[in-house]
Amino acid sequence: MPALKAEAALTLLLLVNAKVWTGNPQQPEAEAIAIRGNRIEGVGSTAEILRRQTPDTRVFDLHGRRVIAGFNDAHVHFYSGGANLNSPPLRYSKSQEDFKNTLALYAKRLPAGRWILGGNWDHENWTPDELPTRQLIDPVTQSWPVFINRLDGHMSLANSLALKLAGIDRNTKDVSGGVIVRDASGDPTGILKDAAQNLVERVIPAPTPDQIRDAIRAAQTYAAANGVTSVQDMSAAPDIFRVYQTMLRNGELTVRISGHQPLRSWQRLADAGVIADFGNDYLHIGGVKGFADGSLGSTTALFFAPYLDSPNTSGIPSAELANPAQMWSDIENADSAGLQIAIHAIGDKANNMILGFYERLEREHGKRDRRLRIEHAQHLLLGDIPRFARDHVIASMQPYHCIDDGRWAEKRIGPERAKTTYAFRSLLDSGATLAFGSDWDVAPMAPLMGIYAAVTRRTLDGKHPNGWIPEQKISVAEAVRAYTMGSAYASFEEKIKGSIEPGKLADLVVLSGDIFSIDPVKIADTKVFLTIFDGRIIFGKDPSGPRLH
């Protein structure tokens, strides 16, 4: 890490002539920041901060650029995101033919027998928007087992070789919490939804520690370029968490990580004596994450009413929620063990049921500072919105999904249900805490695009220039707070990060433009100028020297 070593001797750094949005209500704006080591030492006017200068002090003149606290992405899949940076580039394929040809070109670069994974395809970009099949890709992937996921991670396409290796055929029984999509004759099409994906995943070779490390390094580089200095990893399985620890020990981490493990693994953490917020400023754990349902794009998000374009279904409960008594037992026991609980819920019925579990938890086990979370909280009943604030449930949301799903969501659920989709404004007005993230690599780990999405709600297809469901727009300040202090609160870390105040960690991002004063539409064009992590520049141009990334 030559960039970090170059900064290692730094004792005092002054950032002056800036526009500092502190996130501190007692001092909302400032001009300059003093950083000593990895902590913020002072915040004030340029004249005040320059009084601290000594002969060996480094002074960076930011020429009026906007500075905010480092972004904290409250929901990522960090290892898989890094690994998929080198997966087949299928996300923006415009047709099934384009999809097949892109996959064919990618496969030819690999040795025969190598699994092809990732992809992040999106059939909603195609006309017609039909799901792909194994028959589409088999002719160009005969020598490689393929298991490529839709961008939401809730369904994947397997080719015939992968299905054979997994032992999946017309006689394979359906899976609780999942769907094996079949053709008219009963044969699998290659599409596996939610829990059914496990049938193939279990035969894919596990990554080695070196492969995990390489993926995490790639993910860190991507994070730094986007001003992300903290992430909350919803998929921090033991093998990944072990690599995080090794990298921390070797001084390789350039992002702070809060890890979550599966809800069903609560016993493993409890037996080790781990409770919420266990760890240090760089790496900690203590959260468990469960699933209530699937996704809107895969028609597996659980609703009270059927889908308009698939009237034979209203979604499916997850494998966990399919057994509500067992899921309640896991939630109850994890809570009793002192672990933080986060549950993925997309559809209105899924959210309603999880809110019910959380209310029962407080009713039967008393009040305490649990920081209960619902991940996504996308589609809500109007009457359920006030329950988030009343029950102290954090809405961990990903605003980029709004401008992505908004292209086609109403064909699934109609305009009436859409009114409380990504209900940022209504949740904030009711007193709820928002914690913003990306769900990378389902969506880009790009907080500036997330802020743009929350503020403008302009869908990616350009068809809603005034915003899709514009009454749910929020302000730039509210969106930035959700990406900084809201996320810090969601991981019990608001005392050390999330705002620019003396004593807090020196994690900062300097932007190319002032997102608080420009036309919100131009936020999408704003770039990260500098990313400062732990008091050191990890991305951008050192104002007094060469580029450090």
Q: How many domains does the chain have?
A: 2
Task: Point out which residues pair with 228 in neighbouring strands.
Answer: 71
CB-based contacts of 357, cutoff 8 Å, min separation 6: 327, 328, 331, 343
CATH number for the domain that contains residue 149 = 3.10.310.70
Indicate the pLDDT class of residue 112, thresholds 50, 70 and 90: very high
With beta carbons less than 8 A apart as the criterion, state whether 504 and 496 touch: yes
Among 140, 173, 201, give the residue marking a domain's end. Answer: 201
Q: Which amino acid is at 39?
A: R
| pTM for this model (two decimals) | 0.89
Together in a domain, 39 and 140:
no
Angle, helices 447-456 vs 476-483, to 10°: value is 140
Residue 208 lies in a domain: no
- What is the pLDDT at residue 543? 65
- What is the pLDDT at residue 440? 96
Together in a domain, 84 and 66:
no
Residue 266 lies in a domain: no
Residue 511 lies in a domain: yes
Tell which residue, 347, 344, 351, 345, has the closest CA to residue 391: 351
Residue with tokens 């279904």, as numbered in its chain: 313
Tell which residue, 312, 303, 230, 294, has the closest CA to residue 442: 294
CATH number for the domain that contains residue 45 = 2.30.40.10
Together in a domain, 170 and 99:
yes
For 501-531, what is each residue's pLDDT tens digit?
999 999 999 999 999 999 999 999 999 999 9
Is the pLDDT at 374 greater than 90? The verdict is: yes
CB-based contacts of 217, cutoff 8 Å, min separation 6: 82, 252
Together in a domain, 31 and 82:
no
Mean pLDDT of the 317-342 span: 97
Q: How many helices (H) and strands (E) does the chain have?
A: 19, 24
Mean pLDDT of the 92-106 span: 94
Residue 112 lies in a domain: yes
Together in a domain, 111 and 176:
yes
Residue 178 lies in a domain: yes
Together in a domain, 64 and 82:
no
Together in a domain, 17 and 104:
no
Q: What letter would DSSP give residue 471?
A: G
For 274-314, what is each residue's pLDDT tens digit?
999 999 999 999 999 999 999 999 999 999 999 999 999 99
Q: Is 213 helix (H, G, I), strand (E, B) or coil?
A: helix
**In the numeric block, which tokens belong to residue 225?**
């370029």
Please provide residue 198's backbone torsions phi and psi, each rounded to the nearest 5 degrees: -60, -25
Tell which residue, 443, 424, 420, has the closest CA to residue 434: 424
Residue 276 lies in a domain: no
| Helix, strand, coil percent values for the chain (each to nearest 5) | 35, 25, 45
Among 171, 201, 231, give the residue marking a domain's end. Answer: 201
Among 174, 201, 228, give the residue marking a domain's end. Answer: 201
Q: Which amino acid is at 327?
A: M
- What is the pLDDT at residue 541? 77
Together in a domain, 63 and 88:
no
For 163-182, what is each residue's pLDDT tens digit?
999 999 999 998 898 999 99
Together in a domain, 128 and 181:
yes
**In the numeric block, which tokens belong to residue 290?**
């469960």
**In the numeric block, which tokens belong to residue 305?**
């009413």
**Maximum distance among all Cα pairs of the chain, rounded to whole angstroms:** 80
Give the domain range for residue 157. Answer: 78-201
Q: What does the alpha-carbon distance between residue 525 and residue 455 come to, in Å, rounded to a whole number?
A: 14
Together in a domain, 87 and 192:
yes
Task: Point out which residues pair with 119 in neighbouring strands.
Answer: 149
Residue 103 lies in a domain: yes
- Distance from chain centroid for Cα 478: 18
- Identify the helix (H) or strand (E) that includes residue 226: none
Residue 283 lies in a domain: no
Together in a domain, 110 and 88:
yes
Together in a domain, 98 and 58:
no
